[in-house]
Amino acid sequence: MLEIITTGSIEVVCGPMFAGKTEELIRRIRRLEYAKKKVLVFNPSIDDRYSREEIVSHNKTKARARFVNNSKDILNYINKDVDAVVIDEAQFFDQEIVKVVEYLADQGIRVIIGGLDRNFRGEPFGAMPELLALAEYVTKLTAICVISGKPATRTQRLINGKPASYHDPLVVIGGEESYEPRARTCHEVPNKPKIKY
């Protein structure tokens, strides 16, 4: 058990795909390393698009990482020397990630989380809403909409070049071949239930 210190914090970097979330995490990792801080980086095992040993941005910037099957596995790597924990693709972790992150911050660890705040349907994704609510600091990034050129806050999933239906599987790991950033007015989700008042 770690000694409780009260200097921990939670930071969340969120936004749609292609907004530079992983790039921002790697920038923060480099700053921590430059300051001689011990940083541990984690990624869910489900997301192995580019590597099984590194988090990799779409621009191919990399940082060493441990890939874990569930959020509690992160605790197996924590010791009193850890200054910061960085977690990428947090939306893919189980709901227990919320307790893990709170615990780490309560132990005096700076926790930096990256993830999609919305799924392809445009709805809150996984544990991200709760993590955003608990965070001391939030950075919400936007991409550029491929249709309008305006700021993109949504992720459009494509199947054979067409927008995915609301009823398609929620999690499909992919990159530019399956997803693109879209502004609210350009985001399409066929068969999505309409909001009525």
Contact 6, 134 (CB under 8 A): no
Whether 89 sits among the annotated catalytic residues: the reply is: yes
Question: Pick the catalytic residue: 23, 24, 53, 89?
Answer: 89
Contact 43, 67 (CB under 8 A): yes
Please give the Cα distance from 161 to 7 (Å, whole number).
48
Contacts 24+ apart (CB under 8 A), 52-60: 55/22, 55/25, 55/26, 55/88, 55/89, 56/22, 57/20, 57/22, 57/23, 57/26, 58/18, 58/22, 58/23, 58/175, 58/176, 59/23
> Among all residues, which ones are annotated catalytic?
89
